[in-house]
Amino acid sequence: MHTSSPELAPKESAVSLLSFCHLRTLAEVADILEPRGLQEEAEVPAQILAEFVTDSRKKDKLLCSQLQVVDFLQNFLAQEDTAQGLDPLASEDTSRQKAIAAKEQWKELKATYQEHVEAITSALTQVLPKVEEAQRKRAQLQEALEQLQAKKQVAAEKLRVAQKQWQLQQEKHLQHLAEVSAEVRERQTGMKQELERLYQELGTLKQEAGQEREKLQRHQTFLQLLYTLQGKLLLPEAEAELPQERDLLEPKSQQVTQSQELNTGDTMERVGDVSSKASGPPPIADASLPQLSERQQHGEGS
């Protein structure tokens, strides 16, 4: 039996390597698990002790994983040895074929992996600019949205202020209209009272004028009777004196009429400022009333 065949050499080297790793691992575990003195633990600072505990845990995890790998390899080699013990030549051919198939499969997997890596790299090369462009557009849209929100908020604030100002202006306008309306009504009431008073004065003046006409008529009748009894007619000189007396009385009557017109004009101007409902200036008193009183005085004097 050939113990140093080229097919068994790798297995022996693998077993020796695994044994060496196993022994080294056990030595490291024994070194880690070696008890330490209380004095050394007391001298070690807390921070260093915490770092040591963390590092020890990491090493423990690494050793556990290595032990699991070693155990798996030992079981695998034991199964291979059992299979090769039945038929060494067949097992060598089978192992060679398996190794060649595994090598070919590894090459195929490596080529496929390389193709996938190249495809992914190419896809990333094409996609990355699009992703960057999409991110840039997203940032622009986000900025535009923020600006739009800010403008919307400013517009809403301006609209609220404008509505408030418009409401205040409307309230002031309505208040002013109410004040003007009240003032107009008050002026209308005053004008109506003034017109009523003027109409009353006009009626009184008409009554006085009628009374003065009656007195004048009686005096003229009395004078005519006196001239008739004396057998005299009314002389032209007396007739000439009467127009002179009328001429003297006319300026006085015109002054009274002008004063009445001025009073009436002022009243109508105030009415026109307030409302256009006034029908017109009040009637002017008769200008012949002062003449009647003068004629009456003249008749009484004669």
Of 76, 103, 130, which marks where a domain is finished?
130
Q: Is residue 280 part of a domain?
A: no
Co-location of 103 and 179 in the same domain: no
Rounded CA-CA distance 127/34 in Å is: 56
Residue 63 CB contacts under 8 Å (≥ 6 apart), including other chains: 25, 28, 29
Q: What is the pLDDT of residue 47?
A: 66
Co-location of 13 and 118 in the same domain: yes
Give the number of residues written for the chain: 302
Q: Is residue 48 part of a domain?
A: yes
Q: What is the pLDDT of residue 83?
A: 61
Q: Is residue 157 part of a domain?
A: no
Q: Is residue 161 part of a domain?
A: no
Q: How far is CA 79 from the centre of its chain?
A: 82
Rounded CA-CA distance 188/194 in Å is: 10
Co-location of 124 and 228 in the same domain: no
Q: What is the pLDDT along the chain (302 residues), one digit of tens a residue?
A: 344 444 444 445 455 555 665 566 666 656 655 555 444 444 556 667 677 778 777 887 788 878 888 888 778 777 766 665 555 555 677 777 877 887 888 888 888 888 888 888 888 788 788 888 888 999 999 999 999 999 999 999 999 999 999 999 999 999 999 999 999 999 999 999 999 999 999 999 999 999 999 999 999 999 999 988 887 554 444 444 444 444 444 444 454 445 445 544 554 454 444 444 434 444 444 444 344 344 444 444 44
Nearest to 267 by CA among 193, 162, 171: 193
Task: Please name the helix (run of DSSP H) or strand (run of DSSP E) that holds residue 236, with its range, or none.
Answer: helix 236-274
Residue 286 CB contacts under 8 Å (≥ 6 apart), including other chains: 205, 206, 209
Q: Is residue 153 part of a domain?
A: no
Q: Which amino acid is at 37?
A: G
Co-location of 102 and 174 in the same domain: no
End-to-end CA distance of the chain: 195
Number of domains in the chain: 2
Note whether 267 and 197 are within 8 A (CB): no
Residue 298 CB contacts under 8 Å (≥ 6 apart), including other chains: 245
Co-location of 182 and 253 in the same domain: yes
Q: What is the pLDDT of residue 18?
A: 54
Co-location of 17 and 90 in the same domain: yes
Co-location of 80 and 173 in the same domain: no
For 5-22, what is each residue's pLDDT tens digit? Answer: 444 444 454 555 556 655
* CB crowding 84-123: b at 16 or more within 10 Å, else e: beeeeeebeeebeeeeeeeeeeeeeeeeeeeeeeeeeeee
Co-location of 51 and 108 in the same domain: yes
Q: Is residue 163 part of a domain?
A: no
Boundaries of domain holding 232:
168-236+246-275+285-301
Note whether 245 and 294 are within 8 A (CB): yes
